[in-house]
Structure 1
């Protein structure tokens, strides 16, 4: 199970509250294995140059407050954090709560889903809606841009994983196979493959262009809530594939790609709980950075690049 991270946090819309006289927000410091330290920040008003005059309760210290940043520290635990206020507000894109949000690698586009049942791509410089993505029959729980910024990956309550065109909002591929809600998704390398995890306790590797499932991992007994994709080293013992889905490609390249993804899946899901992340060190059959290919040698399933 993943260890809990040390966290310094402020509760509520602190940027607005602390611009009001006597406005107060709660601050907390969470340290793994120790009781959470709680305190408060209080505004005494706004100075002539529009900077909030903020004081902290005895457990915390506030220093060098500016118009858009508040540095807060917890001296007893030697922890500090700087909180930044937003410089833009996109209030008209959705009518209700935003459930998921991602920004393209270039920063010019955003994609978001909402409890108002809409799923949209919009421009970050003027918040103009570029396209409305229609095709999921229920709430969208996760959405992410491909590295190109021209496609979007999504998954939701309808158990479907979809690929969308940013330009016209059309659905380019639909991936079916999960038996429950899609809880997280990830794009592998340049986007040839994608990964999804769900309420059904499975994680799946897909060919994003064909919409075909390449690998299924189903030895988790609880929902897999999160996915992270890491780089693969030059050599790793991968074990052997547990299952090849019916209809999946059976070429050596496809089988190697399946094995490369499935071993880290099984290793990590055995350690995770329903609240811990799943870490997937996989990048596909071909290393897109070096151009090298993966080959198998030896009875134990060792792989190497050349």
Structure 2
């Protein structure tokens, strides 16, 4: 296809992808209040400035918005985020449809497998992030002085929740990256298994940084699944290395085939 044809196809794919995002954003905007309530549900909010949170909830804060335009900005931000997530199957399909003609058959197979695995892994990581948000919020609010009331801007919490969702979702892609490097022949299962001490230590340090709370349960909620997925990646890579070794053993190397060729040539001369 000439360059002009590629540009026309790219424009068509972009129009379809952006159109899907706009449609899902408009639909999400009709339910923006429910979406905002879902996002701020982990916050331990108080009913009054003096407190009055649920029994046994500990310290709490006043959930608020800043300024007249803040509610409108918050509604647009929540609707756009939900629209991007809701339209992800469409724009991912458009991206795949644009890239697929330039890939080999084996590359297409692996790419489809990565997409089919990567999207669920990201969603599972995002669900974990939302699950630990209540604990994170309570621990952070507990640092508020006794004589002060914590004002919780919804915009700030939405940014924090978005960062945690992205960090948790991307961290769950680590095993997929390791398997991809193994399939490309860059990283062997033996080397991956030899790194296990450093990997466990690095995962624990990453979990301590990614979860902005000192609660060990929140750290384990992130470090435990990533470590388990790392072990799964090692097992998958080990199976792939065994398969590759069997295939290589079934083929004759040039050194092995040279004597047979010489013998065949000698037989013809005789």
TM-score range, shorter chain: under 0.3
**TM-score (ref. length: structure 1):** 0.23
Larger Rg: 2
Q: Which structure has greater strand proportion?
A: 1
